[in-house]
Structure 1
Amino acid sequence: MNRKSGQLNLSGRSLTEVPDSVWRLNIDVPEEATSVSLDNTEDRWWDQTELTKLILASNWLTALSDDIRNFSALTVLDLHDNRLESLPDGLSELKNLQKLDISHNRLTSCPDCVCRLCGLVSLQVAHNQMESLGDGIGDLYQLQNFTTIYFYATFKIFAEFVLSFQDISNNQLGSLPHGLGYLTKLIKLNVSNNKITEIPPEIGCMNGLKFLDLTHNQVNSVPEDMGNLMHLEQLYIRHNQLQELPALTNCVALKELHLGNNIICEITLEHLQQLKSVSVLDLRDNKIPSLPEDITVLQVLERLDLTNNNLTGLPYSLGTINTLKSIVVDGNPMKSIRRDIVMRGTMELKKYLRSRLEVPVEPVSNPKGVVSSKGQSGVIGGGGDGINAHEVGQFKNLDYSGRQAIDIPEDVLQVAVKGEVTSVNLSKNNITSFPVSLVQLTETLKELMLGRNKLTVLHSDIGKFGRLTMLDLRNNALSDLPCEVADLQELREIVLSCNRFMQLPTVLYKLKKLEILFASDNKIEVIDADGLCQLPVLGTLDLQNNSINQVPPELGNCLQLKSLQISGNLFRNPRPAILAKGTPALLEYLRSRIVSS
């Protein structure tokens, strides 16, 4: 044991039981006490800290001694990857315990002693054999009366005491307890890979929920109460038995909805009107025969996955959604759209759809945030350009696009600073250099759009925007990115399409949270498969219309990719017929061509 740090790591030692001497660490006087000089301040054992972190992971433990109660100062207990079938009641006396990992064991239910751990911050119980959680889990609602500092997701400091079910997936749960509704501070709930058939209506009371994963269950309907989750941002209900889109009436913060691998056979305007905030809509592997023309109500939609449905065509209005960057329609019996048009990529497909409209329709742009409103009260900015200060503060969104501007007027910037905006749109202007004044927004900005300007170099100040989750640099004249981009560790999406890149900047491979990378219509010649495989959550990669003359087989090892678009390049292999089969088949084909050493 490290008596200074208060940590003891006994993981991976093939232990079948914990030695008695471990349980008496806080009781017995160490042997070194008889030989240590009283003048040696570094060796004064009586001044050393109590055990606060105990790691017993990856052993063969079948039981845990009730003497665990001796470690009253314990804050972290890691028991994952053992053979535990129960936990001792003494565990409930660890009132300082904040993190408990009991995943990968043989527990058949959530022990009562866990439900009495009022200080828990993180509880992981994935990969057990749990058939029920029990309503006792709801007793943890008392946590909301405490305060602490907890690091999570895109928040630098989340200053509330929060219980975070990191993962209760891969069990045998047939249902969820009604007591979950009491966990109003819960942020993330993952119950994927279970046998859940119904979702309790009390889930609508979980006001803090931002991430919910119900993938790989047997859910056939969603309670209307789920529509009360006003802070929900990501919802995964893939691989279930849904026949229609869920009713999500008041989920105004929802950004991603993943409904792939269900049996959805109809989408109506009523469904879509509830999804106006959604930017990612995954409907792959369903039975959808058509989309309504009213799909334009999804005015902030960026990714639409319709792979493997029954679509014979697409509504022409789909081409007018200006924010739409990716449409995937592989595996559909398209009759009204030629395959070569589909193979040209999203932008060409949208262009084709718009051309088929009898009456030209202006592209739909993001209605949220600031709009031009000359003459209204509170309108300021750049000589009457029409920025409504009230709406900037209300929607946390500054839209200063399409104004032929070369910089941001100071009065407009100050409105953004005062409104603590999270999104800034400066696209379709004449900006030639990065507006350094934007650094005043580093503490709040999460989305920055600089597309369709005249940038040739991206300033190193971009690295100061550590909260950025999305960066749009399309349609500029960039050929590289500064090394400071590596500091954007929260970045989930970057758009580099229509620039002058000869290769993907290597700095991108340091962005471990990057999920979406658009780099079509550049001059990229080589695919760095090893670099791309370093991005653990990269799901969408668009390299269409570049100068790639060879696709490395090792790219097939990037198993995290869900959408890979590489058509419109110089290579002859893989053939178009293989590309048309979709991403999983393409990756499998590439792996088959890896030569064993």
Structure 2
Amino acid sequence: MFKTKKMASGSIGFSPKYSRSTLMSLNPLKLSPRTDRVQTLIHQARQSGVLNLNGCYLQSLPENVYSINQLRIRSGVVRTKAKKNSQRGVPAEVMLQKLDVSSNCVIELSSDIGKLDSLTSLSMQSNALTKLPEEIGQLMNLTRINLSQNKIAVLPLGFYSLINLRYLNISYNLIEELNRGIGNFTALEFFDCANNRLSSLPNSIGYMDRLTKLVLSSNNIGELPKTLVNMVSLQKLDLQHNELISLPKNMNHLRNLHVLSLQDNKIMDLSELAGCDSLLELHADRNKIKRLPNKLVSTWTHLKVLHIPFNRLMEIPSDLIVLQSLTEVDFSFNTITKLSTSVALLQNLIKLYITGNPIRQIDTNINALEPAKVTSTAFKASIIDARIDHWNDSNQFCTTKRSPLCLPNFREHRSEVVNFSNGSLTNLPCEFQFMCICVVDLIGDKTRSRATLPPFLTSFTNLMILNLSNNYLENLPQELAVLKNLTELNISQNKFQYIPNCVYRFKNLTVLLANDNRIKMIDTGDQALGALKHLTTIKMRYNRLTSLPFNLGYFTNIKTLDITGNPLDFPKQRTIKKGTKAIMANLRYRSECAV
């Protein structure tokens, strides 16, 4: 059941077979500690100064642990024996400095704990302690103490005498109040009091001006003391899962604060954070924040991570553009209706989350920006992500008031058809173009494959049918070529004077419908129609074709060629009426005659 293990410090400890919770539910008579082994560890600790009883199934500390220092100096006989051992090369006995009794079932510590005044580190986490003796305050050399995961409700007054502490962990206990003596810990650098029952903090906590990390998460704190801003060395402050409504004034005094966690509170305003120019990360998920004033945001000059999801934000501040160090922004699940240019110009942005917002408008200035300036792929992808949420909610793509257009639910990977017909469009919808541009950016370098695209973009690139008929389109953007799997394209009843170049990059295209346009010629070059090896159907009725290239007759993959209604000089109308085979044979005959 027991396995011994060599610790880094040189001491020996036990590796328990069972967890503490399992241990406490079992019969203690069957899991009583092996006294001989524990005594061996105690004996070895006299030479190393380190006693590790981690996971030894102890319900109390052996009595000789408390007197381990006294045994060393009890009599002159011991001193004489130590001198002889030293001459034989046997290590001299030292005072106990580190005691680890974690992961046991210890219910209480004896008042004799005060005899271990040489201790610098005490680890008692994961036990069943309900209280501490007053005598613990006699351990004046302690610099580190861990009492987490116990059942302590009150810290004794003597505990606040440990003025040399640098590390203190009392998380996961039942503590309801901290005494004002907490201010005595002026040397403290790390303090974790998470998952207790605190409702307030004493003003004296501000005296801990060497503290670099303060963790107060998962309590019931409703208000922070004004003196908190005196902790000028503070680098990380964790206040999540409390009942905070506001922050104390002059938070900008915390000049070294890098990470602030405010998740799951009731905060409505972050204006007290103005001037916190050293802030690198701000997490304020699930609060009641309605706006971020520009004057506030512009002071966070070094901010890299900004998370404010699940709040009540109505707009993105325009001064966000000042924060050029931002790499990650989360505005998801707010009430934002418009995307501003400021987000598009964040040059170092890697992740942008704006899903779950009722976005209905993209700042017109974004579309006017030069493509080189909109370098953040995260911005483009998130625009599409947010727009798709809106489309899913409304089942409409509101490009025109006259004719709403249907956009499929790409995120659920169900649609292979996009229908933009009868929309009176002069250009493709900007959101649709943004999706194309986003794919181009994401797979632009050869190191990224199409398989690494976000799921909804992967679904987008798998589109098979695109219907753009009955609009006012004159050209198509090159970015549309990302639709590599497109098999059918309908551009009938538009204003095209030639087949757009992007069409020739649809390598899997089988059907091209281009009736009722203004097309004057067909390009059969290797980089044009000749590149479409799977094309079987071409319908170009009622255009302005006057002739067909002879080599079109050798395109054996074309089974249907409909060119009726064109002012053709060649081939003749009687040949056209006979159908595709006659047209293709006539073209081949003319080609051979020309040779």
1:356 correspondence with 2:367: yes
CA distance in 1, matches of 2:293, 2:82: 80
From the superposition, tell whether residues 358 and 56 of structure 1 become closer, same or farther in structure 2 (CA, over 3 Å). Answer: closer
From the superposition, tell whether residues 174 and 331 of structure 1 become closer, same or farther in structure 2 (CA, over 3 Å). Answer: same
Check whether the contact 2:340–2:366 (CA below 8 A) recurs between aligned residues: no
Q: CA deviation at 1:225?
A: 2.5
Output the amino acid matched with 1:268.
Answer: P
1:83 correspondence with 2:124: no
SS in 2 for 1:3: helix
1:270 correspondence with 2:315: no
From the superposition, tell whether residues 316 and 74 of structure 1 become closer, same or farther in structure 2 (CA, over 3 Å). Answer: same
1:20 correspondence with 2:57: no
Q: CA deviation at 1:241?
A: 0.5
From the superposition, tell whether residues 11 and 359 of structure 1 become closer, same or farther in structure 2 (CA, over 3 Å). Answer: closer
CA distance in 2, matches of 1:200, 1:360: 49
Q: CA deviation at 1:277?
A: 2.6
Cα deviations by residue, 1:462-515 (Å, 9 ceiling, x for unpaired): xxxxxxxxxxxxxxxxxxxxxxxxxxxxxxxxxxxxxxxxxxxxxxxxxxxxxx
CA distance in 2, matches of 1:570, 1:87: 61
Output the amino acid matched with 2:213.
Answer: K
Cα deviations by residue, 1:408-458 (Å, 9 ceiling, x for unpaired): xxxxxxxxxxxxxxxxxxxxxxxxxxxxxxxxxxxxxxxxxxxxxxxxxxx
Q: CA deviation at 1:178?
A: 0.7
Match of 2:449 among 528, 543, 546: 546
1:111 correspondence with 2:156: yes
Determine the structure 2 residue equivalent to 1:214: 239
Q: CA deviation at 1:220?
A: 0.8
CA distance in 2, matches of 1:220, 1:239: 11
Output the amino acid matched with 2:178.
Answer: L
Q: Kindly name which structure, 1 or 2, has the bigger radius of gyration based on alpha carbons.
A: 2
Cα deviations by residue, 1:120-163 (Å, 9 ceiling, x for unpaired): 1100010001111121100222x3xxxxxxxxxxxxxxxxxxx1
Q: What does 1:444-523 align with in structure 2 at a 5 Å threshold?
A: none
Determine the structure 1 residue equivalent to 2:202: 177
Q: What does 1:188-337 align with in structure 2 at a 5 Å threshold?
A: 188-336=213-361
1:124 correspondence with 2:149: no
Output the amino acid matched with 2:65.
Answer: V
From the superposition, tell whether residues 521 and 196 of structure 1 become closer, same or farther in structure 2 (CA, over 3 Å). Answer: farther
1:63 correspondence with 2:111: no
Check whether the contact 1:227–1:248 (CA below 8 A) recurs between aligned residues: yes
Identity of aligned pairs, percent? 31
Q: CA deviation at 1:35?
A: 13
SS in 1 for 2:204: helix
Check whether the contact 1:309–1:331 (CA below 8 A) recurs between aligned residues: yes
Q: CA deviation at 1:261?
A: 1.0
CA distance in 1, matches of 2:108, 2:317: 58
Check whether the contact 2:69–2:95 (CA below 8 A) recurs between aligned residues: yes
CA distance in 2, matches of 1:263, 1:335: 22
CA distance in 2, matches of 1:124, 1:170: 11
TM-score, normalised via structure 2 length: 0.54
Determine the structure 1 residue equivalent to 2:383: none
CA distance in 1, matches of 2:449, 2:144: 48
Check whether the contact 1:296–1:364 (CA below 8 A) recurs between aligned residues: no
Output the amino acid matched with 2:283.
Answer: H
TM-score, normalised via structure 1 length: 0.54
Output the amino acid matched with 1:195.
Answer: N
CA distance in 1, matches of 2:247, 2:223: 8
CA distance in 1, matches of 2:286, 2:162: 38
Check whether the contact 2:103–2:125 (CA below 8 A) recurs between aligned residues: yes
Determine the structure 1 residue equivalent to 2:529: none
Check whether the contact 2:85–2:92 (CA below 8 A) recurs between aligned residues: no
* Count of aligned pairs between the two proteins: 353
SS in 2 for 1:548: helix
CA distance in 2, matches of 1:217, 1:520: 43
Check whether the contact 1:197–1:219 (CA below 8 A) recurs between aligned residues: yes
Check whether the contact 2:132–2:155 (CA below 8 A) recurs between aligned residues: no
Output the amino acid matched with 1:8.
Answer: L
From the superposition, tell whether residues 34 and 74 of structure 1 become closer, same or farther in structure 2 (CA, over 3 Å). Answer: closer
In terms of fraction of residues, the more helix-rich structure is 2
CA distance in 1, matches of 2:158, 2:461: 62
From the superposition, tell whether residues 11 and 250 of structure 1 become closer, same or farther in structure 2 (CA, over 3 Å). Answer: same
SS in 2 for 1:8: strand
Q: CA deviation at 1:106?
A: 1.3
Q: CA deviation at 1:567?
A: 5.9
Cα deviations by residue, 1:302-333 (Å, 9 ceiling, x for unpaired): 21111211222311232122232221112222
Match of 2:95 among 46, 50, 53: 50
SS in 1 for 2:168: strand
SS in 2 for 1:175: coil
CA distance in 1, matches of 2:365, 2:351: 16
From the superposition, tell whether residues 63 and 522 of structure 1 become closer, same or farther in structure 2 (CA, over 3 Å). Answer: farther
Output the amino acid matched with 2:294.
Answer: L
From the superposition, tell whether residues 71 and 277 of structure 1 become closer, same or farther in structure 2 (CA, over 3 Å). Answer: same
From the superposition, tell whether residues 360 and 310 of structure 1 become closer, same or farther in structure 2 (CA, over 3 Å). Answer: same
Q: CA deviation at 1:40?
A: 4.7
Q: CA deviation at 1:253?
A: 0.8
SS in 2 for 1:110: coil
Check whether the contact 1:317–1:354 (CA below 8 A) recurs between aligned residues: no
From the superposition, tell whether residues 198 and 34 of structure 1 become closer, same or farther in structure 2 (CA, over 3 Å). Answer: closer
Check whether the contact 2:275–2:296 (CA below 8 A) recurs between aligned residues: no
From the superposition, tell whether residues 34 and 139 of structure 1 become closer, same or farther in structure 2 (CA, over 3 Å). Answer: closer
Q: CA deviation at 1:108?
A: 1.7
Determine the structure 2 residue equivalent to 1:576: none
Output the amino acid matched with 2:138.
Answer: E
CA distance in 2, matches of 1:226, 1:102: 30
From the superposition, tell whether residues 72 and 43 of structure 1 become closer, same or farther in structure 2 (CA, over 3 Å). Answer: farther
CA distance in 2, matches of 1:208, 1:231: 6
CA distance in 2, matches of 1:48, 1:211: 41
Q: Which runs of 5+ in 1 are unaligned?
A: 144-162, 338-351, 366-518, 525-544, 552-564, 574-597
Q: Which runs of 5+ in 2 are unaligned?
A: 1-41, 377-441, 463-595
CA distance in 1, matches of 2:461, 2:87: 68
CA distance in 2, matches of 1:140, 1:127: 20
CA distance in 2, matches of 1:223, 1:362: 39
